[in-house]
């Protein structure tokens, strides 16, 4: 039984997330935690847009906030987002990893240590290799790993890097990912 979903994406991610996140119903049982590389500027407009599209509440994660179902959390721009062992968030301005802050790898690794085999990690379209290492750690900790098919990604570098780092449990086209996440969320 899974307890959380982490999603990492970069170039093309806004389009990908618009396809996936609105498909989760308001009683969706897992928190969804997202790192989207959008630079150092605020993602308020995109979050407001998603709040109008999604049945779950969409927000930037706050430091010391508990990770709860019913929410889609985004890493704030220019902050690394981590999940602590007590299932709360922490934020940091530590050095960029893979030229990125927030870093997908940092979120994925911290979530893997907190959730172990009850985590679902998902890598979507993107133009760098951030997330590949983190997805490998999720797999090593027994979590479920999903990678978008790079042939159909707006930017294939991130899914290709993930596929090179780890043999994912599932490889899907973007249109199939929401359905699979929903299926996994309700599996026993």
DSSP string, the chain: ---EEEEEE-TTHHHHHHHHGGGS-TT-SS-EEEEE---SS--HHHHHHHHHH-SSEEEE--TT-B--TTEEEEPPTT-EEEE-TTSBEEEE-PPPBTTBSS-HHHHHHHHHHHHGGGEEEEE---SS-TTHHHHHHHHHTT-EEEEE-GGGSSS-HHHHHHHHH---SEEE-HHHHHHHHHHHHT--
- Assess whether 129 carries a catalytic annotation: no
- Assess whether 37 carries a catalytic annotation: yes
**Which residue range is the domain that position 19 belongs to?**
4-185
Task: Given the residues 103, 110, 129, 130, select the one marked as catalytic.
Answer: 130
- Assess whether 105 carries a catalytic annotation: no
Tens digits of per-residue pLDDT, 85-97? 999 999 999 888 7
pLDDT tens, N- to C-terminus, the chain (188 residues): 999 999 999 999 999 999 999 999 999 999 999 999 876 666 678 899 999 999 999 999 999 999 999 999 999 999 999 999 999 999 999 888 777 889 999 999 999 999 999 999 999 999 999 999 999 999 999 999 999 999 999 999 999 999 999 999 999 999 999 999 999 999 97
Task: Given the residues 37, 103, 110, 129, select the one marked as catalytic.
Answer: 37
**Domain CATH for 99:** 3.40.50.180
pTM score of the predicted model: 0.97
Tens digits of per-residue pLDDT, 31-68? 999 999 876 666 678 899 999 999 999 999 999 999 99
Task: Given the residues 10, 103, 110, 156, select the one marked as catalytic.
Answer: 10
Positive or negative: CA dihedral 175, 154, 17, 119: positive
Please count the structural domains in the chain.
1
């Amino acid at each position: 039984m899974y307890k959380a979903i982490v999603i990492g994406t970069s170039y093309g991610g806004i389009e990908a997330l618009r396809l996936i996140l609105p498909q989760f119903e308001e009683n969706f049982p897992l928190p969804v935690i997202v790192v989207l590389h959008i630079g150092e500027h605020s993602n308020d407009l995109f979050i407001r847009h998603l709040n109008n599209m999604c049945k779950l509440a969409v927000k930037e994660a706050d430091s010391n906030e508990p990770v709860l179902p019913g929410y889609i959390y985004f890493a704030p721009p220019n902050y690394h987002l981590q999940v602590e062992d007590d299932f709360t968030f922490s934020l940091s301005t530590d050095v960029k990893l893979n030229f990125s802050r927030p870093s997908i790898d940092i979120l994925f690794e911290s979530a893997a240590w907190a959730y172990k085999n009850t985590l679902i990690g998902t890598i979507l379209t993107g133009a760098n290799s951030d997330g590949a290492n983190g997805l490998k750690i999720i797999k090593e900790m027994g979590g479920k790993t999903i990678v978008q098919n790079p042939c159909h990604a707006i930017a294939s570098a991130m899914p290709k890097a993930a596929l090179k780092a780890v043999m994912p449990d599932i490889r899907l086209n973007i249109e199939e990912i929401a359905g699979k996440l929903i299926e996994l969320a309700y599996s026993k």
